[in-house]
């Protein structure tokens, strides 16, 4: 390379300071195809330093970073694309770490989430309208209860409990179940069930791609199944439909799989927020059940979508609490303890509720008929129970209102809770399309209210409010069956707006979560897909590799080769049997100490290579380099992206001089600290030894003084 060409390239690199910022997005995207934290310089064959062997062929050294000038490269916060002929200019390059947690694409995804939130809110209102219309037609033979001057409030849900059909009411759920089975058979079987397990599976196994037809099949099938008296909640289908809408937008737009997952979760959370006006609980639900992470790039779009959906609900129906609960007094210490015990009991019941659902599902799978007919068979049971107890039919949000207001008596609580449980478990296990949240709330609320009434009768001094007990039972059964602890607590609070119930909710739901974690491996949300071999994350912890800098984990005493070394000399050294001659790869430096690449043991022992070959001529690619102030997550991602087992570690002050080498073994060894913290129990403060060290010297001195 001529000196004039070097000067020209240096001038171009310096000029990037002024033009790189507008191209940052493209630079980052281009480099992310190769790595997220390194550059790949290529050795120039015209480098004269590779032809002057003036040092030993093999050496061990620790290379301190040299002081060099700085060339600020602001075009990318990830890496610097390096041309093969940059030469000396590369020695002055300085690449910054990422300075922000998100990039500019968050603006695009956030804007899409806002639109998605508004659309999901509209679809939620449309689905509720469809359910009410079908209910009015099937059970009352009119539409005036939904459309017209005498219609119920738009935010209300029409209950089929006041029908006068008699035994003919058994036919209504059968019709809905048959239609749901037909639509699943010739549409998509993904519409069966309550939707969240299917969304989890699409996220974990299929890059958040949901078939577009599910976007309309799920709400339509659910509207018929619920509107004809199916004992389900409307929230599950709406959550599933919102997620399908988000996935569809993500498939129509040019986005990554990660961004599509965020859009799916944003749509699902927006659907839940639009039904219940619970934006915070919806965000937490998305984190606990769909995203499996808590990062700004995911949290921001989901939050924007839920705020938008809640705003649409407020504009349409007002901002009142969904479940109108009268003001209650703060519970005392004894009552709080009783609510925790209540949570333990309901949490244990949630385990058996989950097992019952999948036990019924297994029983239907053994029937000698096609699965398309299962929902109709399950609906027969729902119809019979609905004939006996009409309040078990339909969505039943009015029943939740009655529970938190304390309107149910003991006999009603027993019969309603038991019959609702049988109706819902058999219908859901048959594969009908419907939600789980409302039925679980009714079952758990009935149990909680019964326990609260019983304790209040036995020990009136404890001051237990049966209405709070019902609310704690609702949250506890959802926390135990789904293990979405924070979602259960916040949801119950947001839908009732009762701050006095917040502490009992936290205690009771935590107790239920404890019992569920101890006694049940999978949840009502994950059992189905776990049986298909899909592993669902159950714990969300900080990545330990992100906490370890490369400079701390790498090996600094490195055996390296020179570009000017002859292959025959290197082979003689390798056959000596020395420990450092047994490595699987060696960094290669030129005579100026600059990194030129890595050569593997296989290449060095290749019999087709003549002994007079220079090591520098054998290099197939430039070095894959990582900075010592990056973390091991960056390094391991780079290893995967470049399909290499070792990285050259360089100083940010001088990216052409080696600091050390990072291997896969070094990355694995970094987990030792995490394993130690999890498994090794030890007492850090020993009182007896501490007192002996503190006062033992004075005691011995006093004893010696007395003896003398």
pLDDT tens for 423-469 read 999 999 998 888 888 899 999 999 999 999 999 899 988 889 999 99
Q: Are 393 and 229 in contact (CB under 8 A)?
A: yes
Q: Find the range with the poorest average confidence among 118-132, 388-402, 581-595.
A: 581-595
Total domain count for the chain?
Answer: 3
Phi-psi domain of 483 (left: phi exceeds 0; alpha: psi -120 through 50; beta: other): left
Q: Is residue 625 part of a domain?
A: yes
Q: Are 41 and 82 in contact (CB under 8 A)?
A: yes
Q: Which of 531, 554, 588 is the last residue of a domain?
A: 531
Percent of the chain with pLDDT over 70: 83
Q: Find the range with the poorest average confidence among 148-162, 336-350, 541-555, 663-677.
A: 148-162
Same domain, 348 and 415: yes
Considering only residues 612 and 416, tell me which one the structure prediction assigns the higher pLDDT: 416
Same domain, 276 and 127: yes
pLDDT at 189 over 60: yes
pLDDT at 153 over 60: yes
H or E segment and range at residue 589 = strand 585-589
pLDDT of 698 reads: 55
Q: Which of 505, 531, 557 is the last residue of a domain?
A: 531
Whole-angstrom distance, CA of residue 234 vs CA of residue 439? 10
Confidence of residue 692 (pLDDT cuts 50, 70, 90): confident
Calculate mean pLDDT across residues 293-298.
Answer: 89
Q: Find the range with the poorest average confidence among 127-131, 201-205, 687-691.
A: 687-691
pLDDT of 699 reads: 53
Secondary structure class of 594 (helix, strand, coil): strand
Q: Are 230 and 382 in contact (CB under 8 A)?
A: yes
Same domain, 62 and 133: no
Q: Are 588 and 562 in contact (CB under 8 A)?
A: yes
Q: Is residue 702 part of a domain?
A: no
CATH number of the domain to which 614 belongs = 3.10.580.10
pLDDT of 475 reads: 95
Quote the mean pLDDT of the chain: 81
pLDDT at 219 over 60: yes
Beta strand 71-72 pairing with 93-94: parallel
pLDDT one-digit tens code per residue, 63-83: 333 333 332 233 333 333 333
Calculate mean pLDDT across residues 173-195.
Answer: 87
Q: Is residue 322 part of a domain?
A: no
pLDDT of 92 reads: 32
pLDDT at 187 over 90: no
Residue-level length of the chain: 708
pLDDT at 99 over 90: no
The strand pairing partners of 435, in sequence order, are: 233
pLDDT of 269 reads: 95
pLDDT at 1 over 50: no
Confidence of residue 13 (pLDDT cuts 50, 70, 90): very low
pLDDT at 156 over 80: no
Nearest to 286 by CA among 111, 105, 491: 491
Q: Which residues contact 272 (CB under 8 A, 6 or more apart)?
A: 235, 238, 239, 242, 278, 281, 282, 285, 306
Same domain, 432 and 570: no
Q: How many CB atoms lie within 10 A of CB 369?
A: 9
Q: Which of 317, 345, 377 is the last residue of a domain?
A: 317
Considering only residues 685 and 11, tell me which one the structure prediction assigns the higher pLDDT: 685
Q: Is residue 234 part of a domain?
A: yes
Same domain, 563 and 454: no
Q: How many CB atoms lie within 10 A of CB 525?
A: 23
End-to-end, the C-alpha distance of the chain in Å comes to: 89
Same domain, 352 and 499: yes
Considering only residues 297 and 37, tell me which one the structure prediction assigns the higher pLDDT: 297
Token look-up 């960094």 returns: 587
pLDDT at 85 over 70: no
Strands (DSSP E) contained in 355-469 are: none
Q: Is residue 681 part of a domain?
A: no
Q: How many CB atoms lie within 10 A of CB 19?
A: 10
Q: How many CB atoms lie within 10 A of CB 308?
A: 24
Token look-up 């504009």 returns: 315
Q: Is residue 69 part of a domain?
A: yes
pLDDT of 379 reads: 92
State the residue range of the domain holding 8.
3-99+545-669
Nearest to 615 by CA among 626, 625, 628, 601: 601
Confidence of residue 708 (pLDDT cuts 50, 70, 90): low
pLDDT of 408 reads: 85
Whole-angstrom distance, CA of residue 637 vs CA of residue 430? 44
Same domain, 282 and 165: yes
C-alpha 79: how far from its chain's center? 28
The angle at the Cα of 197, spanning 195 to 202, to the nearest 5 degrees, equals 95
Percent of the chain with pLDDT over 90: 39
Confidence of residue 573 (pLDDT cuts 50, 70, 90): confident
Calculate mean pLDDT across residues 397-411.
Answer: 88
Confidence of residue 707 (pLDDT cuts 50, 70, 90): low
pLDDT at 58 over 60: no
Q: Is residue 142 part of a domain?
A: yes
Same domain, 490 and 563: no
Same domain, 94 and 111: no
Confidence of residue 281 (pLDDT cuts 50, 70, 90): very high
Considering only residues 700 and 665, tell me which one the structure prediction assigns the higher pLDDT: 665
Q: pTM of the prediction? A: 0.78
H runs (alpha helix) in 56-104 = none
Calculate mean pLDDT across residues 666-690.
Answer: 78
Confidence of residue 97 (pLDDT cuts 50, 70, 90): low
Calculate mean pLDDT across residues 219-234.
Answer: 90
pLDDT at 43 over 70: no
pLDDT of 154 reads: 62
Q: Is residue 675 part of a domain?
A: no
CATH number of the domain to which 156 belongs = 1.10.3080.10
The angle at the Cα of 589, spanning 587 to 592, to the nearest 5 degrees, equals 160
Same domain, 117 and 228: yes
Same domain, 305 and 282: yes
Same domain, 282 and 365: no
Confidence of residue 706 (pLDDT cuts 50, 70, 90): low
Q: Are 38 and 627 in contact (CB under 8 A)?
A: yes
């Amino acid at each position: 390379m001529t000196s004039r060409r070097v000067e020209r390239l240096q001038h171009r690199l310096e000029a990037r300071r002024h033009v790189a910022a507008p191209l940052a997005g493209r630079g980052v995207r281009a480099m992310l195809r190769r790595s997220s934290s390194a550059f790949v310089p290529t050795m120039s064959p015209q480098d004269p330093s590779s032809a002057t062997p003036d040092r030993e062929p093999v050496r061990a050294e620790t290379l301190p970073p040299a002081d060099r000038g700085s060339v600020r490269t602001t075009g990318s916060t990830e890496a610097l694309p390096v041309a093969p002929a940059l030469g000396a200019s590369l020695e002055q390059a300085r690449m910054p770490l990422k300075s922000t947690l998100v990039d500019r694409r968050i603006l695009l995804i956030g804007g899409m989430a806002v639109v998605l939130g508004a659309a999901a809110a509209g679809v939620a209102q449309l689905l509720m309208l469809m359910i009410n219309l079908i209910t009015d037609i099937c059970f009352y033979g009119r539409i005036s209860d939904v459309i017209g001057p005498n219609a119920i409030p738009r935010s209300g849900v029409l209950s089929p409990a006041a029908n006068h059909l008699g035994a003919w009411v058994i036919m209504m759920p059968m019709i809905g179940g048959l239609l749901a089975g037909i639509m699943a058979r010739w549409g998509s079987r993904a519409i069966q069930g309550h939707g969240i397990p299917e969304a989890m599976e699409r996220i974990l196994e299929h890059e958040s791609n949901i078939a577009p037809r599910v976007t309309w099949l799920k709400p339509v099938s659910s509207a018929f199944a619920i509107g004809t008296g199916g004992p389900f909640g409307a929230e599950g289908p709406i959550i599933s439909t919102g997620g399908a809408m988000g996935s569809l937008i993500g498939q129509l737009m040019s986005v990554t799989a990660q961004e599509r997952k965020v859009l799916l979760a944003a749509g699902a959370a927006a659907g839940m927020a639009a039904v219940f006006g619970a934006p915070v609980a919806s965000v937490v639900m998305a984190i606990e059940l769909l995203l499996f992470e808590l990062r700004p790039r995911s949290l921001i779009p989901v939050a924007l979508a839920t705020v938008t959906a809640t705003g649409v609900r407020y504009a349409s129906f007002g901002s009142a609490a969904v479940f109108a609960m009268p003001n209650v007094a703060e519970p005392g210490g004894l009552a709080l303890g009783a609510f925790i015990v209540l949570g333990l009991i309901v949490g244990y019941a949630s385990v058996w509720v989950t097992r019952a659902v999948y036990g019924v599902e297994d029983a239907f799978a053994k029937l000698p008929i096609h699965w398309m007919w299962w929902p109709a068979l399950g609906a027969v049971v729902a119809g019979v129970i609905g004939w006996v107890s009409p309040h078990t039919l339909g969505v039943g949000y009015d029943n939740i209102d009655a529970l938190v207001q304390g309107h149910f008596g003991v006999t009603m609580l027993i019969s309603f809770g038991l019959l609702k449980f049988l109706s819902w478990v058999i219908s859901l296990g048959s594969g009908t399309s419907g939600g789980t949240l409302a039925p679980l709330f009714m079952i758990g609320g009935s149990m909680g209210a019964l326990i609260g009434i019983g304790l209040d009768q036995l020990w009136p001094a404890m001051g237990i409010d049966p209405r709070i007990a019902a609310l704690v039972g609702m949250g506890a059964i959802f926390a135990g069956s789904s293990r979405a602890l924070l979602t259960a607590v916040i949801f119950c609070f947001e839908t009732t707006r009762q701050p006095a119930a917040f502490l009992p909710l936290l205690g009771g739901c935590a107790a239920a979560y404890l019992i569920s974690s101890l006694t049940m491996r999978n949840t009502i949300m994950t059992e189905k897909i776990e049986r298909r071999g899909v592993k669902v994350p159950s714990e969300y912890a900080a990545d330990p590799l992100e906490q370890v800098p490369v400079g701390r984990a790498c090996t600094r005493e490195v055996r390296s080769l020179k570009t000017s070394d002859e292959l025959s000399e290197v082979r003689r050294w390798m056959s000596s049997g020395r420990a450092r001659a047994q490595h699987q790869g060696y960094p290669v430096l030129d005579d100026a100490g600059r990194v030129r690449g890595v050569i593997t043991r296989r290449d060095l022992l290749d019999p087709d290579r003549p002994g007079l070959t220079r090591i520098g001529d054998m290099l197939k690619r430039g070095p894959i380099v990582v900075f010592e102030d990056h973390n091991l997550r960056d390094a391991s991602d780079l290893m995967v992206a470049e399909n290499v087992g070792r990285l050259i570690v360089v100083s940010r002050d001088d990216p052409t001089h080696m600091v050390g080498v990072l291997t896969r073994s070094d990355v694995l060894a970094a987990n030792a600290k995490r394993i130690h913290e999890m498994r090794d129990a030890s007492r850090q403060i020993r009182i007896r030894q501490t007192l002996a060290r503190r006062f033992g010297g004075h005691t011995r001195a006093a004893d010696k003084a007395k003896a003398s």
